[in-house]
Amino acid sequence: MHINDAVFLEDLCPKFRFRQWRKSIHRFTGKSCIYCGNPSESIDHVLPRSQGGLSTTENCVPACLSCNGDKSDENALYWYRRQKFYDPRRAMAIRAWLEGDLRLAIRLLQWANPNFKDTNNNNERKKSNYKAA
């Protein structure tokens, strides 16, 4: 991972930027939980903040409330391995994400989920069915 590429929220600080950043995280996976594929309603720190995890894109993945709550402060990869919905492709995607290779992560997620919609293309902004929660 290239430490210089990491986006430190503490530097971006203003709430607006924070919200944009959160949105962009969800957009990467088409608003689906990186672990189970359900709609992502939250952002999970892969390495928990209590263990020194930073609020960087590399350490923050879209997750549904169920996964986020169940995982709690555990290491994401260990936790994920025990889940019924464990999928090695998703595990690889999580690892790629942690390494900052979002392109690879998204490809792996697409592979794991044929219904995956890539919302990162240029047409994205033209779709107005985007309602703020």
Helix (H), strand (E), coil (C) string for 67-111: HHHHHCCCCHHHHHHCCCCCCHHHHHHHHHHHCCCHHHHHHHHHH
Please tell me the distance from the alpha carbon of residue 25 to that of residue 78, in angstroms, as a whole number.
22
CB of 131 to Zn ion, least distance (A): 21
Give the residue with the Cβ less far from Zn ion, 40 or 56.
40
Q: In the complex, what is the shortest distance from the CB of residue 60 to Zn ion, in angstroms, rounded to a whole number?
A: 14
- Point out which span in 26-34, 54-62, 69-77, 115-123 binds Zn ion (CB under 5 A): 26-34
Q: How far is the CB of 71 from Zn ion (least distance, A)?
A: 9
Contacts of residue 36, Cβ cutoff 8 Å, sequence gap at least 6:
64, 66, 67, 83, 85
Q: How far, in Å, CA of 115 to CA of 105, rounded?
A: 16
109 binds Zn ion (CB under 5 A): no
Site string for Zn ion, 48-87 (x = CB under 5 A): ----------------x--x--------------------
Please give the residue ranges that form the binding site for Zn ion (CB under 5 A): 33, 35-36, 38, 64, 67
